[in-house]
Protein backbone atom coordinates (compact mmCIF):
# COMPACT_ATOMS: atom_id res chain seq x y z
CA UNK A 1 0.00 0.00 0.00
CA UNK A 2 1.58 3.33 -1.02
CA UNK A 3 2.23 6.09 1.44
CA UNK A 4 -0.52 8.72 1.50
CA UNK A 5 0.09 12.41 2.13
CA UNK A 6 -2.59 15.08 2.61
CA UNK A 7 -2.11 18.77 1.96
CA UNK A 8 -4.34 21.86 1.67
CA UNK A 9 -5.42 22.98 -1.77
CA UNK A 10 -3.37 26.18 -1.61
CA UNK A 11 -0.24 24.01 -1.98
CA UNK A 12 -1.49 23.01 -5.45
CA UNK A 13 -2.07 26.65 -6.32
CA UNK A 14 1.41 27.45 -5.05
CA UNK A 15 2.99 24.91 -7.43
CA UNK A 16 0.82 26.00 -10.36
CA UNK A 17 1.94 29.62 -10.08
CA UNK A 18 5.49 28.53 -10.97
CA UNK A 19 4.60 25.73 -13.38
CA UNK A 20 2.19 27.90 -15.39
CA UNK A 21 4.98 30.43 -15.99
CA UNK A 22 7.44 27.62 -16.76
CA UNK A 23 9.69 28.73 -13.89
CA UNK A 24 12.16 26.33 -12.34
CA UNK A 25 11.68 26.30 -8.58
CA UNK A 26 12.92 24.14 -5.74
CA UNK A 27 11.94 24.31 -2.09
CA UNK A 28 10.99 22.52 1.10
CA UNK A 29 7.97 20.47 2.07
CA UNK A 30 6.89 21.21 5.64
CA UNK A 31 4.57 18.88 7.49
CA UNK A 32 3.71 16.55 10.32
CA UNK A 33 3.70 12.77 10.50
CA UNK A 34 1.63 10.86 13.05
CA UNK A 35 0.33 7.32 13.26
CA UNK A 36 -3.08 8.58 12.21
CA UNK A 37 -2.11 10.63 9.14
CA UNK A 38 0.65 12.56 7.41
CA UNK A 39 -0.18 16.18 6.70
CA UNK A 40 1.72 18.79 4.69
CA UNK A 41 1.19 22.32 5.95
CA UNK A 42 3.24 24.48 3.57
CA UNK A 43 5.61 24.58 0.60
CA UNK A 44 8.47 27.08 0.93
CA UNK A 45 10.59 27.93 -2.10
CA UNK A 46 14.31 28.17 -1.40
CA UNK A 47 15.53 31.75 -2.00
CA UNK A 48 18.03 32.40 -4.75
CA UNK A 49 21.63 31.93 -3.72
CA UNK A 50 23.61 35.15 -3.34
CA UNK A 51 27.11 34.51 -4.58
CA UNK A 52 28.93 31.79 -2.67
CA UNK A 53 27.72 32.92 0.76
CA UNK A 54 25.61 30.58 2.86
CA UNK A 55 22.95 32.43 4.82
CA UNK A 56 19.30 33.33 4.78
CA UNK A 57 19.57 36.29 2.46
CA UNK A 58 17.95 36.04 -0.93
CA UNK A 59 18.90 38.14 -3.91
CA UNK A 60 15.76 39.33 -5.65
CA UNK A 61 17.82 41.59 -7.87
CA UNK A 62 19.77 38.83 -9.59
CA UNK A 63 20.10 38.86 -13.36
CA UNK A 64 18.24 36.08 -15.13
CA UNK A 65 21.54 34.53 -16.16
CA UNK A 66 22.47 34.08 -12.50
CA UNK A 67 19.22 32.48 -11.36
CA UNK A 68 19.19 28.68 -11.19
CA UNK A 69 17.36 27.26 -14.20
CA UNK A 70 17.68 23.54 -13.52
CA UNK A 71 18.71 21.04 -10.87
CA UNK A 72 22.35 20.90 -11.95
CA UNK A 73 22.85 24.56 -11.03
CA UNK A 74 21.43 24.19 -7.51
CA UNK A 75 23.70 24.05 -4.45
CA UNK A 76 22.86 21.20 -2.07
CA UNK A 77 24.51 23.06 0.81
CA UNK A 78 22.36 26.14 0.16
CA UNK A 79 19.12 24.14 0.33
CA UNK A 80 20.34 22.33 3.47
CA UNK A 81 21.04 25.71 5.08
CA UNK A 82 17.54 26.82 4.15
CA UNK A 83 16.14 23.72 5.87
CA UNK A 84 18.16 24.49 9.00
CA UNK A 85 16.80 28.02 9.27
CA UNK A 86 13.22 26.95 8.55
CA UNK A 87 13.39 24.23 11.23
CA UNK A 88 13.88 26.97 13.83
CA UNK A 89 10.54 28.41 12.79
CA UNK A 90 8.62 25.14 13.08
CA UNK A 91 6.78 24.22 16.28
CA UNK A 92 7.40 20.83 17.85
CA UNK A 93 6.03 17.92 15.85
CA UNK A 94 6.63 19.70 12.53
CA UNK A 95 9.54 18.79 10.24
CA UNK A 96 11.04 19.31 6.81
CA UNK A 97 9.47 16.30 5.09
CA UNK A 98 11.21 16.63 1.74
CA UNK A 99 11.67 18.86 -1.31
CA UNK A 100 9.51 19.95 -4.24
CA UNK A 101 10.58 20.84 -7.78
CA UNK A 102 8.86 22.51 -10.72
CA UNK A 103 10.78 21.93 -13.97
CA UNK A 104 10.51 20.59 -17.50
CA UNK A 105 12.92 17.76 -16.64
CA UNK A 106 11.79 14.26 -15.79
CA UNK A 107 13.54 14.24 -12.43
CA UNK A 108 12.68 10.62 -11.66
CA UNK A 109 13.84 9.13 -14.98
CA UNK A 110 16.90 11.28 -15.63
CA UNK A 111 19.85 9.66 -13.74
CA UNK A 112 21.59 13.02 -13.24
CA UNK A 113 18.47 14.62 -11.79
CA UNK A 114 17.78 11.68 -9.53
CA UNK A 115 21.38 11.71 -8.26
CA UNK A 116 21.08 15.44 -7.55
CA UNK A 117 17.83 14.99 -5.62
CA UNK A 118 19.24 12.15 -3.55
CA UNK A 119 22.36 14.18 -2.78
CA UNK A 120 20.25 17.19 -1.78
CA UNK A 121 18.07 15.16 0.58
CA UNK A 122 21.14 13.62 2.22
CA UNK A 123 22.70 17.08 2.64
CA UNK A 124 19.53 18.23 4.41
CA UNK A 125 19.50 15.12 6.60
CA UNK A 126 23.15 15.52 7.64
CA UNK A 127 22.80 19.26 8.18
CA UNK A 128 19.82 18.80 10.49
CA UNK A 129 21.59 16.00 12.40
CA UNK A 130 24.44 18.24 13.58
CA UNK A 131 22.46 19.69 16.48
CA UNK A 132 20.38 16.89 17.97
CA UNK A 133 18.44 19.29 20.19
CA UNK A 134 16.94 21.02 17.15
CA UNK A 135 15.02 17.80 16.37
CA UNK A 136 15.48 18.55 12.69
CA UNK A 137 14.86 15.04 11.39
CA UNK A 138 11.54 13.30 11.86
CA UNK A 139 12.07 10.44 14.33
CA UNK A 140 9.29 8.30 12.85
CA UNK A 141 10.76 7.69 9.39
CA UNK A 142 13.91 8.23 7.33
CA UNK A 143 11.93 8.45 4.09
CA UNK A 144 11.74 11.91 2.55
CA UNK A 145 9.31 13.17 -0.07
CA UNK A 146 10.13 14.35 -3.58
CA UNK A 147 7.24 16.24 -5.18
CA UNK A 148 7.57 17.21 -8.85
CA UNK A 149 5.31 19.21 -11.12
CA UNK A 150 6.18 19.30 -14.79
CA UNK A 151 6.11 22.80 -16.26
CA UNK A 152 5.23 21.38 -19.67
CA UNK A 153 2.52 18.81 -18.85
CA UNK A 154 1.47 20.15 -15.40
CA UNK A 155 1.47 16.55 -14.15
CA UNK A 156 2.12 16.15 -10.42
CA UNK A 157 4.17 13.17 -9.19
CA UNK A 158 5.32 12.34 -5.68
CA UNK A 159 7.73 9.64 -4.53
CA UNK A 160 9.71 8.92 -1.39
CA UNK A 161 13.37 8.12 -0.87
CA UNK A 162 15.21 6.80 2.18
CA UNK A 163 18.03 9.03 3.42
CA UNK A 164 20.80 8.78 5.98
CA UNK A 165 21.71 5.19 5.17
CA UNK A 166 24.86 3.73 3.64
CA UNK A 167 22.96 2.05 0.83
CA UNK A 168 23.38 4.21 -2.28
CA UNK A 169 21.04 2.04 -4.37
CA UNK A 170 17.92 3.18 -2.55
CA UNK A 171 14.89 2.89 -4.79
CA UNK A 172 12.05 5.33 -5.13
CA UNK A 173 8.69 4.43 -3.65
CA UNK A 174 5.35 5.72 -4.94
CA UNK A 175 3.42 8.21 -2.79
CA UNK A 176 -0.23 9.17 -3.16
CA UNK A 177 -0.65 12.92 -2.72
CA UNK A 178 -4.16 14.14 -1.92
CA UNK A 179 -5.36 17.74 -1.77
CA UNK A 180 -8.04 18.70 0.75
CA UNK A 181 -10.44 21.44 -0.38
CA UNK A 182 -11.21 22.40 3.21
CA UNK A 183 -8.67 23.79 5.61
CA UNK A 184 -7.52 21.18 8.10
CA UNK A 185 -8.47 21.83 11.74
CA UNK A 186 -5.60 21.60 14.20
CA UNK A 187 -5.63 21.06 17.93
CA UNK A 188 -3.52 23.67 19.68
CA UNK A 189 -1.61 22.91 22.87
CA UNK A 190 -0.09 25.76 24.89
CA UNK A 191 2.60 25.32 27.53
CA UNK A 192 4.70 27.78 29.52
CA UNK A 193 7.96 26.38 30.82
CA UNK A 194 9.61 28.40 33.59
CA UNK A 195 13.36 28.32 33.19
CA UNK A 196 15.14 29.24 36.43
CA UNK A 197 18.46 27.45 36.77
CA UNK A 198 22.00 28.34 37.86
CA UNK A 199 24.92 26.66 36.14
CA UNK A 200 28.62 26.88 37.05
CA UNK A 201 31.16 28.23 34.59
CA UNK A 202 33.86 25.58 34.35
CA UNK A 203 37.41 26.82 33.81
CA UNK A 204 39.51 25.02 31.20
CA UNK A 205 43.00 25.60 29.87
CA UNK A 206 41.64 26.65 26.51
CA UNK A 207 39.26 29.18 28.05
CA UNK A 208 35.50 29.15 28.33
CA UNK A 209 33.53 28.96 25.08
CA UNK A 210 30.00 30.30 25.02
CA UNK A 211 28.86 27.60 22.59
CA UNK A 212 30.35 24.76 24.61
CA UNK A 213 28.86 26.08 27.85
CA UNK A 214 25.42 26.55 26.29
CA UNK A 215 25.60 23.06 24.81
CA UNK A 216 26.10 21.60 28.30
CA UNK A 217 23.21 23.68 29.63
CA UNK A 218 21.02 22.54 26.77
CA UNK A 219 21.90 18.91 27.49
CA UNK A 220 20.92 19.37 31.14
CA UNK A 221 17.65 21.10 30.21
CA UNK A 222 16.83 18.33 27.74
CA UNK A 223 17.24 15.65 30.41
CA UNK A 224 14.98 17.56 32.80
CA UNK A 225 12.26 18.13 30.21
CA UNK A 226 12.37 14.51 28.98
CA UNK A 227 11.98 13.23 32.55
CA UNK A 228 9.05 15.53 33.25
CA UNK A 229 5.41 14.49 33.47
CA UNK A 230 2.88 16.50 31.48
CA UNK A 231 -0.74 17.11 32.38
CA UNK A 232 -3.30 18.22 29.78
CA UNK A 233 -5.90 20.62 31.19
CA UNK A 234 -4.77 19.66 34.70
CA UNK A 235 -5.24 15.91 34.24
CA UNK A 236 -2.88 13.04 33.53
CA UNK A 237 -4.11 11.46 30.30
CA UNK A 238 -3.67 8.01 28.84
CA UNK A 239 -0.97 8.17 26.16
CA UNK A 240 -2.90 5.92 23.78
CA UNK A 241 -5.99 8.16 23.71
CA UNK A 242 -6.47 10.50 20.76
CA UNK A 243 -6.92 14.22 21.25
CA UNK A 244 -10.36 14.27 19.63
CA UNK A 245 -11.52 11.64 22.15
CA UNK A 246 -10.47 13.97 24.98
CA UNK A 247 -12.43 16.79 23.34
CA UNK A 248 -15.56 14.63 23.04
CA UNK A 249 -15.33 13.55 26.68
CA UNK A 250 -14.90 17.14 27.79
CA UNK A 251 -17.91 18.26 25.75
CA UNK A 252 -19.99 15.43 27.15
CA UNK A 253 -19.20 16.50 30.71
CA UNK A 254 -20.03 20.14 30.05
CA UNK A 255 -23.05 19.34 27.80
CA UNK A 256 -21.80 21.65 25.06
CA UNK A 257 -21.39 20.98 21.35
CA UNK A 258 -18.93 22.17 18.75
CA UNK A 259 -20.26 23.30 15.42
CA UNK A 260 -18.60 21.92 12.33
CA UNK A 261 -16.68 25.11 11.54
CA UNK A 262 -15.84 26.02 15.12
CA UNK A 263 -12.21 25.47 16.04
CA UNK A 264 -11.60 23.67 19.32
CA UNK A 265 -10.14 25.75 22.09
CA UNK A 266 -6.53 25.44 23.09
CA UNK A 267 -5.50 22.76 25.56
CA UNK A 268 -3.22 23.84 28.38
CA UNK A 269 -0.24 21.61 29.10
CA UNK A 270 1.45 21.72 32.51
CA UNK A 271 4.95 20.37 32.99
CA UNK A 272 5.96 18.76 36.28
CA UNK A 273 9.55 17.78 36.91
CA UNK A 274 9.92 14.80 39.31
CA UNK A 275 12.11 15.38 42.35
CA UNK A 276 14.94 12.89 42.68
CA UNK A 277 16.21 12.64 46.25
CA UNK A 278 19.40 10.85 45.29
CA UNK A 279 23.04 11.89 45.54
CA UNK A 280 25.94 10.46 43.51
CA UNK A 281 28.30 8.08 45.27
CA UNK A 282 31.28 10.24 44.44
CA UNK A 283 31.28 14.02 44.26
CA UNK A 284 33.57 15.69 41.75
CA UNK A 285 34.94 19.08 42.72
CA UNK A 286 35.58 21.44 39.82
CA UNK A 287 37.16 24.86 39.74
CA UNK A 288 34.57 27.45 38.75
CA UNK A 289 35.16 31.00 37.67
CA UNK A 290 31.56 32.12 37.96
CA UNK A 291 27.98 31.10 37.28
CA UNK A 292 25.24 31.57 34.71
CA UNK A 293 21.70 32.23 35.86
CA UNK A 294 18.99 31.50 33.32
CA UNK A 295 15.62 32.94 34.21
CA UNK A 296 12.45 33.38 32.19
CA UNK A 297 9.46 31.63 30.66
CA UNK A 298 9.55 29.77 27.36
CA UNK A 299 6.25 29.99 25.51
CA UNK A 300 5.28 26.86 23.58
CA UNK A 301 2.42 26.60 21.08
CA UNK A 302 2.11 23.26 19.30
CA UNK A 303 -0.41 22.28 16.62
CA UNK A 304 -1.33 18.60 16.34
CA UNK A 305 -3.65 16.65 14.07
CA UNK A 306 -6.72 15.98 16.29
CA UNK A 307 -6.60 12.21 15.74
CA UNK A 308 -3.02 12.04 16.99
CA UNK A 309 -2.44 10.35 20.34
CA UNK A 310 -1.70 12.04 23.65
CA UNK A 311 1.76 10.45 23.57
CA UNK A 312 2.53 12.08 20.23
CA UNK A 313 1.20 15.43 21.45
CA UNK A 314 3.33 15.38 24.60
CA UNK A 315 6.41 14.43 22.57
CA UNK A 316 5.75 17.40 20.29
CA UNK A 317 5.50 19.81 23.24
CA UNK A 318 8.80 18.57 24.68
CA UNK A 319 10.43 18.85 21.25
CA UNK A 320 9.11 22.38 20.91
CA UNK A 321 10.58 23.61 24.20
CA UNK A 322 14.01 22.10 23.58
CA UNK A 323 14.03 23.21 19.92
CA UNK A 324 13.15 26.75 20.99
CA UNK A 325 16.00 26.83 23.52
CA UNK A 326 18.45 25.41 20.99
CA UNK A 327 17.37 27.99 18.39
CA UNK A 328 17.82 30.90 20.78
CA UNK A 329 21.19 29.70 22.03
CA UNK A 330 22.46 29.27 18.47
CA UNK A 331 21.20 32.67 17.35
CA UNK A 332 22.59 34.34 20.47
CA UNK A 333 26.02 32.75 20.00
CA UNK A 334 26.09 33.71 16.31
CA UNK A 335 25.38 37.33 17.27
CA UNK A 336 28.23 37.52 19.79
CA UNK A 337 31.46 39.17 18.74
CA UNK A 338 33.58 37.45 21.38
CA UNK A 339 33.12 33.74 22.12
CA UNK A 340 34.73 34.12 25.55
CA UNK A 341 32.10 33.58 28.22
CA UNK A 342 33.88 35.45 31.02
CA UNK A 343 33.29 39.22 30.76
CA UNK A 344 35.50 41.88 32.29
CA UNK A 345 32.59 43.03 34.46
CA UNK A 346 31.58 41.16 37.59
CA UNK A 347 28.01 40.79 36.30
CA UNK A 348 26.95 40.65 32.67
CA UNK A 349 23.35 40.64 31.43
CA UNK A 350 22.37 39.04 28.12
CA UNK A 351 18.90 38.75 26.63
CA UNK A 352 18.44 36.06 23.95
CA UNK A 353 15.83 36.60 21.21
CA UNK A 354 12.20 36.22 22.18
CA UNK A 355 9.59 34.19 20.36
CA UNK A 356 6.83 35.60 18.16
CA UNK A 357 4.13 33.77 16.19
CA UNK A 358 3.50 34.14 12.45
CA UNK A 359 0.39 32.74 10.68
CA UNK A 360 0.72 30.06 8.02
CA UNK A 361 -2.68 28.91 6.84
CA UNK A 362 -4.81 27.83 9.79
CA UNK A 363 -1.90 27.48 12.23
CA UNK A 364 1.12 29.42 13.46
CA UNK A 365 4.85 29.02 12.99
CA UNK A 366 7.33 31.15 14.89
CA UNK A 367 10.22 33.54 14.52
CA UNK A 368 12.63 35.17 16.96
CA UNK A 369 13.30 38.86 17.54
CA UNK A 370 16.35 40.29 19.29
CA UNK A 371 15.89 43.12 21.81
CA UNK A 372 14.99 46.32 19.98
CA UNK A 373 13.81 44.58 16.80
CA UNK A 374 10.35 45.39 15.47
CA UNK A 375 7.80 42.99 13.95
CA UNK A 376 8.95 44.18 10.53
CA UNK A 377 12.09 42.06 11.02
CA UNK A 378 9.88 38.97 11.20
CA UNK A 379 8.22 39.93 7.91
CA UNK A 380 11.59 39.77 6.19
CA UNK A 381 12.34 36.30 7.58
CA UNK A 382 8.91 35.00 6.65
CA UNK A 383 9.23 36.32 3.11
CA UNK A 384 12.72 34.91 2.51
CA UNK A 385 12.44 31.60 4.33
CA UNK A 386 8.75 30.72 3.92
CA UNK A 387 7.96 32.65 0.73
CA UNK A 388 4.95 34.25 2.42
CA UNK A 389 3.70 37.81 2.51
CA UNK A 390 2.12 38.94 5.77
CA UNK A 391 1.64 42.28 7.51
CA UNK A 392 2.97 43.52 10.83
CA UNK A 393 -0.46 43.17 12.39
CA UNK A 394 -0.36 39.44 11.61
CA UNK A 395 2.69 38.93 13.86
CA UNK A 396 1.75 38.02 17.45
CA UNK A 397 4.40 39.56 19.67
CA UNK A 398 2.89 39.20 23.14
CA UNK A 399 3.44 35.45 23.67
CA UNK A 400 6.69 36.39 25.42
CA UNK A 401 7.41 39.76 26.98
CA UNK A 402 10.81 41.47 26.94
CA UNK A 403 13.04 40.80 29.93
CA UNK A 404 12.70 42.91 33.06
CA UNK A 405 16.15 44.35 33.79
CA UNK A 406 15.30 46.03 37.11
CA UNK A 407 16.67 43.12 39.15
CA UNK A 408 19.83 43.10 37.06
CA UNK A 409 20.29 46.86 37.54
CA UNK A 410 20.14 46.36 41.32
CA UNK A 411 22.73 43.59 41.15
CA UNK A 412 24.93 45.72 38.95
CA UNK A 413 24.89 48.53 41.52
CA UNK A 414 25.76 46.12 44.30
CA UNK A 415 28.63 44.73 42.26
CA UNK A 416 30.19 48.17 41.80
CA UNK A 417 31.96 47.80 45.18
CA UNK A 418 34.60 45.16 44.48
CA UNK A 419 35.66 44.94 48.12
CA UNK A 420 32.29 43.36 48.96
CA UNK A 421 32.78 40.55 46.46
CA UNK A 422 35.01 37.65 47.40
CA UNK A 423 36.86 35.89 44.59
CA UNK A 424 36.15 32.18 44.03
CA UNK A 425 39.55 31.36 45.59
CA UNK A 426 38.80 33.44 48.70
CA UNK A 427 35.39 31.85 49.10
CA UNK A 428 36.91 28.39 48.81
CA UNK A 429 39.55 29.12 51.45
CA UNK A 430 36.99 30.54 53.86
CA UNK A 431 34.82 27.42 53.60
CA UNK A 432 37.86 25.20 54.08
CA UNK A 433 39.05 27.07 57.16
CA UNK A 434 35.61 27.06 58.73
CA UNK A 435 35.35 23.32 58.29
CA UNK A 436 38.79 22.75 59.87
CA UNK A 437 38.00 24.76 63.03
CA UNK A 438 34.75 22.88 63.53
CA UNK A 439 36.54 19.54 63.24
CA UNK A 440 39.10 20.53 65.90
CA UNK A 441 36.33 21.59 68.26
CA UNK A 442 34.55 18.25 67.86
CA UNK A 443 37.80 16.37 68.50
CA UNK A 444 38.47 18.33 71.72
CA UNK A 445 34.98 17.69 73.09
CA UNK A 446 35.22 13.96 72.36
CA UNK A 447 38.55 13.72 74.19
CA UNK A 448 37.11 15.43 77.27
CA UNK A 449 34.09 13.10 77.33
CA UNK A 450 36.21 10.00 76.80
CA UNK A 451 38.58 10.76 79.67
CA UNK A 452 35.96 12.39 81.92
CA UNK A 453 36.21 9.86 84.81
CA UNK A 454 40.00 9.95 84.87
CA UNK A 455 40.07 13.70 84.95
CA UNK A 456 37.59 13.80 87.87
CA UNK A 457 39.77 11.40 89.91
CA UNK A 458 42.91 13.42 89.27
CA UNK A 459 41.16 16.63 90.24
CA UNK A 460 39.83 15.05 93.47
CA UNK A 461 43.36 14.14 94.54
CA UNK A 462 44.71 17.57 93.79
CA UNK A 463 41.82 19.32 95.41
CA UNK A 464 40.61 17.06 98.26
CA UNK A 465 37.32 17.83 99.96
CA UNK A 466 37.70 19.64 103.28
Whether the CB-CB separation of 350 and 425 falls below 8 Å is answered with no
Per-position DSSP letters for 85-101, written without gaps between them? HHHHHSPTT-EEEEEEE
DSSP 46: P
- Segment 23-43 mean pLDDT: 96
- Segment 226-242 mean pLDDT: 93
DSSP 419: G
Confidence (pLDDT) at 136: 95
Contacts of 46 (CB under 8 A, 6+ apart): 26, 27, 28, 78, 79, 82
Confidence (pLDDT) at 210: 77
Stretch among 63-72, 124-133, 156-165 having the lowest mean pLDDT: 63-72
**Looking at the DSSP assignment, which residues form a beta bridge with residue 95?**
31
pLDDT higher than threshold 70 for residue 312: yes
Confidence (pLDDT) at 414: 56
Q: What does the alpha-carbon distance between residue 362 and residue 398 come to, in Å, rounded to a whole number? A: 19
Mutual orientation of helices 243-254 and 310-335 as an angle, nearest 10°? 110
Q: What does the alpha-carbon distance between residue 444 and residue 231 come to, in Å, rounded to a whole number? A: 56
Alpha-helical regions (H) of 203-258? 210-227, 243-254
Q: What does the alpha-carbon distance between residue 20 and residue 9 come to, in Å, rounded to a whole number? A: 16
Q: What does the alpha-carbon distance between residue 364 and residue 302 come to, in Å, rounded to a whole number? A: 9
**Looking at the DSSP assignment, which residues form a beta bridge with residue 269?**
191, 232
Q: Percentage of the chain with pLDDT > 90?
A: 53
Better pLDDT: 192 or 282? 192
Better pLDDT: 167 or 2? 2
Q: What does the alpha-carbon distance between residue 66 and residue 49 come to, in Å, rounded to a whole number? A: 9
pTM attached to this predicted model: 0.81
Q: What's the mean pLDDT when you consider all of the chain?
A: 81
- Segment 353-380 mean pLDDT: 92
Q: How do residues 123-150 score in pLDDT, each as one tens digit?
A: 999 999 999 999 999 998 999 999 999 9
Amino acid sequence: MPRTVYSPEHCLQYLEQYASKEIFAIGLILGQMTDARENVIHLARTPEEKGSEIGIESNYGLDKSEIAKNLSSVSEAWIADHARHVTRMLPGGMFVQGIFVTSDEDVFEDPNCFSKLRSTLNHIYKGLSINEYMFGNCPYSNERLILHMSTSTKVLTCKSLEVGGLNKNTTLKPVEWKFSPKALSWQRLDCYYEFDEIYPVIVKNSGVSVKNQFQQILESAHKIIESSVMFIDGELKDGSESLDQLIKKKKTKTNTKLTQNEAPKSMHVSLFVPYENTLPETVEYLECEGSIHFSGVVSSSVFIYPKATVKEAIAAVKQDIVRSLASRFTMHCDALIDDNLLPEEKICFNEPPRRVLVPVGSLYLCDYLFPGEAPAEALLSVRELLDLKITETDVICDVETPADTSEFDALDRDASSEELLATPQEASQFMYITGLCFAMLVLLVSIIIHYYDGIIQVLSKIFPKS
